[in-house]
Amino acid sequence: MKLEKNIIPEILHVAMVMDGNGRWANERALARLKGHAKGADRVRHIVRASLDMKVTHLTLFAFSTENWKRPKLEVKTLMQLLISSLKKEMNTLQKNNIQLNAIGNIETLPKKVFDELSHVIEATKMNSRMTLNLALSYGSRDELTHVVKEIGEKIKNNIISPEKIDESVINQHLYTRNLPDVDLLIRTSGEQRLSNFLLWQIAYAELYFTKVF
């Protein structure tokens, strides 16, 4: 389907739950890992389309806190795929003036992944056309738990009083503190659920579910 750009509303922040890689592979009698590789390849097209539509922030749910429970081989392969993609796409990010960012409990990532991710984030930090956010080791409940603990510690140390806590204070402690709220959330594969993704940030977002893997 060709998008008519003159009727596309202004969308600043698009978030996407990239679901269905494993089922795509199963339908073709391929290993699940082949599906993940295909999904990583499709990210290029998603980024390109977002640039064309002048989206300023694109957040992709790449690896959840629950994904750590998957088979060890699958997790290891996903981490290797992430490192490979970061290395391969560095030039594309620079060429297209895209800043890479990560949200989530990224300190739990394997050291090689964390180091490569940090390297690309640092190298692209001055880019300004679009911010590409990878949600890695991310879960919204985990994020909100982290917020409560951090604010609680500040109350304990008399840095902030309970009476001063409002939405803006909570926003300042989220992983997404430097990002605008989500305008459009897309989930692929036909599943119609949020799966613990950006629950605070999508309060006023439009939700779109597609059967496409």
Is 158 designated active site?
Answer: no
- Do 146 and 72 contact (CB within 8 A), yes or no? no
* pLDDT(2) > 70: no
Is pLDDT above 80 for 197?
A: yes
- Third-level CATH fold of 5-139+179-209: Undecaprenyl pyrophosphate synthetase (3.40.1180)
Exactly one of 19, 21, 101, 142 is catalytic; name it.
19
User: For residue 1, is pLDDT > 50?
Assistant: no
Sheet order of strands, 130-138 included: 98-103, 130-138, 57-64, 13-17, 184-187, 206-209
pLDDT at position 9 is 64
pLDDT higher for 9 or 57? 57
What is the CB neighbour count within 10 angstroms for residue 209? Answer: 15
pLDDT per residue as tens digits for the range 23-80: 998 999 998 889 888 988 899 999 999 999 999 999 999 999 999 999 999 999 999 9
52 carries an active-site annotation: no
Catalytic residue among 67, 105, 127, 196: 67
Domain boundaries, the chain: 5-139+179-209
User: For 196, left (φ over 0), alpha (ψ -120 to 50), or beta?
Assistant: left
SS3 28: coil
pLDDT on residue 209: 97
Amino acid in the structure at residue 178: N
How many Å apart are CA 106 and CA 115, to the nearest integer?
10
Q: What is the largest CA-CA distance in the chain?
A: 59
Which pLDDT does position 11 carry in this prediction? 79
